[in-house]
Each structure stands twice: as C-alpha cells, then as structure tokens.
Amino acid sequence: MILIGGSSAAFAEGAHFVPEATDVSWDGTVATVTFREVDVALETDVTTISVKVTADVDAVCRRGASVLRIHRSATALDAKDHPISEGGTVEGTASVPLEVTGLKLSGFRCVITQISLTAVLEDFWTGATLTHKTDIDRPEEHH
C-alpha cells in the first residue's frame, strides 16, 4: 500500500506541478499529457506519477425530424516512473489509451459539439497533485 499525502509528502513538501507547463490533447484513441514537476527532492533518481484522463464528449445526432443529444464519457489511468533531473525537475509525457464509445448511431448523422478533457496528475512519492481541464469545440461528423 502506498501512502499518498503521508510521510513521503512531508519529505518532499516543496514539490509541485507547473500548471503552465501542463497540456492535454486527445486524438480519439490516445490522450497525451505533457507535464513538469519542480522542486522534487527524493533520495532516488525516479518518481512515480499517475495520470488519469477523462474525456467527456457531447454530440447531436439527427435522422429526419429526430434529434438526439448524447453525452458519453470514458476514463483511463496510467502510472509510470519518470526520471528526476539533477535540478529536481521531472519532465514527462504520458500517452494513455482512451476511447469513448457510443458516439455513432446507425442511421443517424452525428456531430460532436463539445469535448472536455480532464487530466489529474499525482506524484506518489512527493504528494504533488494537479488537475488540468481543457475544453475543445470541434464539430466532427460521424455517419
């Protein structure tokens, strides 16, 4: 069992993720999260960071006079070790397989109207956390 926020967090209390250095993108099958954690002071040269990504997708589907508004969501998690530089910085990229199902309906023409991505970063050893949200307006047709 790993204690998050316990004695390991006190050991590295200055460590934190840099919001401006965090980005999340999604191509429909893989979410890519880039991040930077600074002031990491551990007695090892790696730290373990989990990245949980949630994609919330809204779509409008039409067939004749019928209109359906659909909301679908999916979440995926990735946890890996990342190297700590001599200056106490962790630069990382996580590629998390993530697919949202149920966006295509037989006989309907569907347009994605909104995509919201939420990435939650957590360093298991320093206790640092960050939640990063991105909204994408990107209409895209599915037949």
Residue-range domains of the chain with CATH: 7-142 (2.60.40)
Alpha-carbon gap, residue 19 to 58, rounded angstroms: 26
Which pLDDT score, from 0 to 100, does residue 69 have? 95
- Residue 136's pLDDT is 82
Length of the chain: 143
Q: What is the pLDDT of residue 114?
A: 93
* Global pTM value: 0.83
17 touches 94 (CB < 8 A): no
How many Cβ atoms are within 10 Å of 36's Cβ, its own excluded? 15
- The CA-based angle 119-122-127, given to 5 degrees, is 150
35-80 pLDDT per residue, tens: 999 999 999 999 999 999 999 999 999 999 999 999 999 999 999 9
